[in-house]
A and B are shown apart, each in its own frame.
Chain A
Amino acid sequence: MPLNKTTLLDMYWHMLLARRLDERAWQLHKDGEINYHISGIGHEALQVAAAFAIRRGEGGYASDWVAPYYRDLALMLALGYPPQDYLLGLFARAADPSSGGRQMPNHWSFKPANVISVSPVAASQIPHAVGIALAIKNKREDKIVLATSGEGATSQGEWYEAVNWAAVKRLPVVFLVENNQYALSTPQEGQMAVARAADKANGLGLPGVSVDGNDLNAVYDAVSSAAERARKGRGPSLVEAVTYRITPHSSDDDDRAYRGKQEVEAQKKRDPLLHTRIFLETEDVLTSAKQTEFETKARELIEAAVEFARSAPDPDPETLTASLYAEEGADG
């Protein structure tokens, strides 16, 4: 089903907001205001498309569940995660809803949208997604799970164990592999012998498709089909969305050690934000007035969030040992 204009504009808005937030985080790091940033620049189209392809609590449906990874800023925003919460995480403030400043930035947890808490150990969250799907299937609930990871994570034993399990038990999961062609410094060919991460699905007995991760519509269609299949009880799917990590791995990385400037510059021409903007302008969905309006709105939102987070209190040292164990009566 083609996306209507309103939805396309809404998707583009989340992509733009993610990009501007990400750029602001780099600047905050450069200015010495925050200690760490891990970027999702280049992943915006595929993440927003995936978020829009699942149920986000709209239309009276219960929200699907999501097991994300640290590059998923645009996905999180599209799931309703407020920019202010992101900034609180960057500054490791007490009010950071992901972890109260305990985790490094981008290690999401967002219970209102059924986003579970994640660690940076690649693929650790994939078995959790499968366990959630197992419970959903047992309870015969009309929900699915979206599990995301980079392509590097598909080398992990836990990734294979989890995907295999989901395939064996026909569980409602969509495994989205965000292939940005580098796992820190290791290029895809150092990571797998198959041409596409999606090819791994063949050996595990589930459908696998590889799509252009900079093509909003292609990712939306692929994830929508996989989600529908899962919802109908026909089991999991693997969707690979191929993009390019335009920035270094993180603020601690220097990518000049392992790739040339020319390569990065060439890839920037495929920038999903640019690509989507051109597409929307060609389709007469996005006007220059709308573009300006979005830019202004994003800037205002972001600067207000920066101001808020900058002056928000740090966690009280007294809370170092708090919430180590759940108390009796906690819900699971």
Chain B
Amino acid sequence: MADLTLLEAIRQALDEEMARDDSILLIGNDVGPRGGVFQATHGLRRKYGPERVIDAPLAEAGMVGVGIGAALYGQRPVVEIQFADFIHPAFNQIVNEAARMHYRSNGAWNVPLVIRAPYGGGIGGGLYYSQSVEAFFARVPGLKVVLPSNPYDAKGLLKAAIRDPNPVLFLEPKQGYRSLQGKVPKDDYTVPIGKAKITRLGERVSLLAYGMMHALALEAAESLAEEGISVEVIDLRTLYPVDQETILASVKKTNRALILYEDNLTGGYGAEIAALIAEHGFASLDAPVRRLAAPDVPAMPYSAALEDAFMPDIEIVKETLRELVAY
């Protein structure tokens, strides 16, 4: 087992899968000789050639649409959207086309397509290189939305996504491309889509997070342990379809829940989890379900001072957890 960064784990997954299955194509802007703006596809063009590592014209809807067509023909394309902020032009292709193809053809056609997109802030990306887009997609029947928080899961989930016969939106916390590190086996393995993971056992409150916020959640939980507050941390990993069982079992045990996410508060992914807990776990609750997210302003201003003000920080996470436990 080697220590890899999140980015290296993603690249390794792409490389191993491309070696395993020659129907896998990479499509995106600057994914060829440039290796992707974050270097996720570094070296793959030289290894697999221009027919399999394809620099696309600058058109996101076209990229996803062409990916869908290739998938209908039996290829397994992985489309890279350079920044999640640029996925919006492709909304029609993802939601109306990829996600509905199997249902609308009554099972005749399926779309084995992965759409990778770096998301999230904290990198000085301003309004158009920082967005979290999961809430727009994590409610679309026919689509799966996956969001890893660490290198091990990233490799295993990306392999699972590539092998999945359905369209999968794979969102990568770009702030952690280099800072998130961990042991990654050289062996072939997958991490199942649709399963959350309890990453820290606790008793008093369930803290649910994903992606970059998961690292913050763990940090807050460790810090509160010193104050004698036992926090259970759950990494959701797959946002859609969501692992209800793991979430509800944890809340049944702790009787309290906080959902932490980096997106805007209103209509964000945490709203669905809060509703889920209220609907199916109400009897076990000793406190209101809380959401902790970014304010309802466009994500996120360029100025470092404003960006810091936008992102949830550890102090507010800890304070909210204390309030919940004291409720």
Contacts and interface: CB of A to CB of B under 8 A. Distances in A.
B72 interface: yes
B214 interface: no
A127 B107 contact: no
Interface stretch (A130-138, A250-258, A259-267): A130-138
B57 A161 contact: yes
The 6 A-B residue pairs with the shortest CB-CB distance, nearest first, are A131-B69, A127-B65, A161-B62, A100-B106, A326-B110, A128-B69
A132 B65 contact: no
A119 B104 contact: yes
Nearest to B60: A161
26 contacts: A67-B69, A102-B104, A116-B109, A117-B105, A119-B104, A124-B65, A124-B93, A128-B97, A130-B65, A131-B72, A131-B73, A157-B61, A158-B61, A161-B57, A161-B59, A161-B65, A165-B59, A165-B66, A323-B103, A325-B102, A326-B102, A326-B107, A326-B110, A331-B74, A332-B23, A332-B76
Contact of A164 (B25, B57, B96): B57
A102 B61 contact: no
B237 interface: no
Contacts of A196: none
A117 B75 contact: no
Contacts of A107: 104
A236 to B, nearest CB: 13
How many chain B residues sit at the interface, stated as a range, is 35 or more
A326 B103 CA distance: 9
A289 interface: no
Nearest to B74: A332
Contact of A102 (B68, B71, B106, B144): B106
B274 interface: no
Given A117-B108, A121-B96, A326-B110, A127 B70 contact: no
B89 interface: yes
Contacts, number: 157
Taking each of B23, B102, B141, which has the highest tally of chain A beta carbons within 10 Å of its own beta carbon? B102
A109 interface: yes
B67 interface: yes
Contact of A332 (B62, B71, B89, B100): B71
B125 interface: no
B165 interface: yes
B131 interface: no
Contacts of A117: 101, 104-105, 108-109
A149 interface: no
Nearest to B61: A158
Contacts of A51: none
A327 interface: yes
Taking each of A102, A129, A332, which has the highest tally of chain B beta carbons within 10 Å of its own beta carbon? A332
Contacts of A133: 69
A273 B92 CA distance: 37
B96 A324 contact: no
Contacts of B82: none
Nearest to B68: A128
Interface string B1-41: 00000000000000000000001010000000000000000
Given A165-B62, A326-B107, A158 B92 contact: yes
Interface in A262-276: none
